[in-house]
């Protein structure tokens, strides 16, 4: 698996069934996706199975998506972002995937509106200062 050490943190924040808002549910196994494993729950009240989290119906793990959005916000091109993700995770990610993520998460990315202006005015080196702690 890609993120073997990654815990299923979403189960801690799970509080209610998304269908009936009931609190009486149990773990019901795991769902194995291409790149990660997700906990499945079963609601005793309505009898439906569900998985928590915002990565529902997504092939790639949330960590990879967030890294892709971060690289793009650092003034990389879509192709450059895809290449960096492939180097870091060893997974081929197309630039179209990144474009779809940008559209899906547009409301959380206010920088996208200013990106065109900033690219014209500043170079990548002038705009960003990176430091590691």
CA 17 to chain centre: 22
pTM of the model: 0.69
The whole-angstrom separation of Cα 119 and Cα 62 is: 27
Which residues are within 8 A (CB) of 48 and not within 5 positions of it... i.e. 6 or more apart? Answer: 17, 19, 20, 42
Q: State yes or no: pLDDT of 115 exceeds 90.
A: no
Q: State yes or no: pLDDT of 9 exceeds 50.
A: no
Confidence label for 64 from pLDDT (cuts 50, 70 and 90): very high
Burial classification of residue 48, based on how many CB atoms lie within 10 Å of its CB (0-12 exposed, 13-18 middle, 19 or more buried): middle
Name the region of 61 (left: φ>0; alpha: ψ -120 to 50; beta: rest). beta
Segment 40-46 mean pLDDT: 94
Q: State yes or no: pLDDT of 78 exceeds 60.
A: yes
Segment 127-131 mean pLDDT: 68
The whole-angstrom separation of Cα 11 and Cα 31 is: 14
Segment 22-34 mean pLDDT: 89
């Amino acid at each position: 698996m890609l993120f073997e050490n990654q815990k299923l943190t979403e189960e801690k924040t799970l509080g209610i069934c998304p269908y009936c808002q009931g609190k009486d549910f149990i773990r019901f196994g795991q769902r194995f996706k291409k790149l990660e494993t997700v906990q499945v729950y079963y609601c005793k009240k309505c009898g439906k199975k569900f998985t928590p989290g915002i990565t529902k119906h997504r092939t790639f793990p949330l960590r990879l998506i967030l890294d892709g959005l971060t690289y793009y916000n650092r003034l990389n091109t879509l192709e450059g972002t895809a290449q960096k993700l492939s180097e870091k995770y060893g997974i081929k990610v197309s630039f179209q995937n990144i474009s779809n993520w940008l559209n899906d998460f547009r409301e959380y990315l206010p920088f996208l509106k200013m990106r065109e202006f900033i690219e014209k005015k500043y170079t990548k080196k002038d705009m960003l200062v990176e430091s590691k702690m």
